[in-house]
Structure 1
């Protein structure tokens, strides 16, 4: 006679993931569901937070084997594949090998208009000043006991650029990828909440009311030369930034040349959407219970907030200096847009400016520092990679 039905069911349950799940995995599943809720209900960076959260959920399902590495065995003196790895293991190779982030930058470049930066080159200084958070968080992380590679990976959160954070962390400290990526994208989504109090605290009402002159028109030749010049100068200055900077500018050249419309549209749509799915799910899959639930994770989250705060402070303070230097012609609020979160940070500058002066229109002026921040974060990542890679 076969086993009683009750025993069969019990045996089935003992071999299932329900019996193998740990409290840490259950907690991570809860965190992933919270992130899914924030992505769908609150619309916090849903394009990346949703796949990241789902990847986290998949990685913490016991016995699923989605992140398992392939197994090999020696047969007659030859190494042969014994068991294939999990789906997420193979998709993760694009992150591990540094392929996905530059491709994301290709799409970003194709979607970005650098015209406001070309029309007002001083915006580049605001983008540079807003990288203050990267180096402030780096030194704070060192004080908290993180080694230089880990501190650099944490510091890059201050650039407010998810792909850059993923790229650098993968190169320097891949075991921190989950906490760093989740902190970076979470704080990017919270920029409309984080930045305004800092902007108001550091500026006067008179400064916030400044109406800036309309930007000059930018010629087609300038727009075509810009990505070429920036690629050459930036890559010669910081060679390690070439993968990110080069792909960013190639995408922009696709856009501005007006002769490869199909390539530009593909980079802006199909390519960046596909890579976004892959990078989100695989980055989320690194946030396993064993890696994520630790005191270091909470330190990283706190340091990420500090990084965003210092980046905003750096941009606004330089904006104030430019306000004084130009006799009140620069609105310091645009300095906060020097972080790399395009175009969200520029919109925050616009909203804060109109709050004080309804006739004020700062969006295009803020886009200059905003796109400069994308370049600045890529170069900052290259500097950190040169120093600690």
Structure 2
């Protein structure tokens, strides 16, 4: 009888016998992301860990993730991560590895903030400093955030969910994760996957929009060479930006602050080792945790919903409308400048650095092989990073 019970228990604890249709679908989705990352090199640094961790978390009884993503917590412990972990341990048992990554590194915003620190160390704000008016194009591209947000509201999402979906239009994965974790953690997996997937599709999404809104003559406009930017300007810019934005939009201070600290490390020239570590070792480590953490949220029970499909569709709306907003404002600036500004650079206001700037350069080269506007496009491109973080801060102030 003991042997028979042991055999029964063995089969009852086989993952194969506990596999659901939802698990199968999500395993296929995860393997698809892995395939796209390896075969087509679509954002491989993120889609590969996201995809493979999505496969692992959907293997029944793997115990990699034992806790729910958006549990109902007593009000008195909601802001205390250690009390939350203790409560969840009592309610759902010991945490799996993915639970610890999500609750300690993603939900506490540690990883998104460290990503911004690394991005700051990798970013050259010189093109924007050399031509400050291009920062307006980065701001104009944020219209995609509000267009997607309004469409999401019309489709029945609540205000916090709509804001989290809208921020996808900023084409900034860490900002999307940061805001969604604060406002609507139950849709984190969908918004994060949409943000990073569509970032890799920028070369496919943007050109049709740009070509529809510009003429060949406009795309051939050549721009004057940017002025040299002094080291003093590059050092003062992150300090001034951090203080001004922090005073005006305190909720954006964590994102902007980490971005600018990283940039100051880069531009100061006196902490090369720290700057290099932020760009390479630290960035690599937090990228691994970010990918694994996001992939672990792609569980069948929370991901396979009609809302997920709508969020993925709204991601395209967000990217396309952000591109359109930047280009249309670029056309206004072209008129005001007497034809000295190529309106395509407005499309780079979508802060997919540097992919959107490269798309603009490729389209310019197709019309005129000698037209080099990459550095002009980098101005709105890096401004878009700041703009998206500020918009996220405004949403947090209003809705958080």
TM-score range, shorter chain: over 0.9
Q: Distance in 1 between matches of 2:11 and 2:215?
A: 65
* 1:297 matched to 2:308: yes
Q: SS where residue 23 of structure 2 aligns?
A: helix
Deviations 1:288-325 (A, max 9, x none): 10111111011101111100011000000011111111
Could you tell me which runs of 5 or more consecutive residues in structure 2 were left unpaired when the two chains were aligned. Answer: 69-85
Counterparts of 1:55-94 in structure 2, within 5 Å, are: 55-69=53-67, 83-92=93-102, 93-94=104-105
Matched-pair contact (CA < 8 Å) for 2:358–2:374:
yes
Residue 374 of structure 1 is matched in structure 2 by 385
Shift of 1:14: 3.2
Shift of 1:374: 0.5
* 1:159 matched to 2:140: no
Q: Distance in 1 between matches of 2:289 and 2:22?
A: 25
Instruction: State which of 362, 368, 372 in structure 2 corresponds to 1:351.
Output: 362
Instruction: State which of 336, 345, 348 in structure 2 corresponds to 1:325.
Output: 336
Shift of 1:10: 6.8
Residue 73 of structure 1 is matched in structure 2 by none
Counterparts of 1:1-389 in structure 2, within 5 Å, are: 12-69=10-67, 83-92=93-102, 93-389=104-400
Could you tell me which runs of 5 or more consecutive residues in structure 1 were left unpaired when the two chains were aligned. Answer: 71-78
Could you list the structure 1 runs, at least 4 aligned residues long, displaced by more than 6 angstroms after superposition.
7-10, 79-82
Matched-pair contact (CA < 8 Å) for 2:38–2:44:
yes
Shift of 1:9: 6.7
Shift of 1:69: 3.6
Shift of 1:3: 5.0
Select between 52-61 and 11-20 the one with higher mean Cα deviation: 11-20
Number of residue pairs aligned between Structure 1 and Structure 2: 379
Matched-pair contact (CA < 8 Å) for 2:58–2:299:
yes
User: 1:290/1:58 Cα in 2 relative to 1: closer, same or farther (>3 Å)?
Assistant: same
Q: Over the residues paired in the alignment, what is the CA RMSD in angstroms?
A: 1.7
Give the TM-score taking structure 1 as reference length: 0.95
Q: Distance in 2 between matches of 1:142 and 1:210?
A: 39
Matched-pair contact (CA < 8 Å) for 2:13–2:61:
no
Shift of 1:13: 3.5
Q: Distance in 2 between matches of 1:8 and 1:172?
A: 46
Q: Distance in 2 between matches of 1:338 and 1:2?
A: 68
Select between 48-57 and 152-161 the one with higher mean Cα deviation: 48-57
Shift of 1:197: 0.6
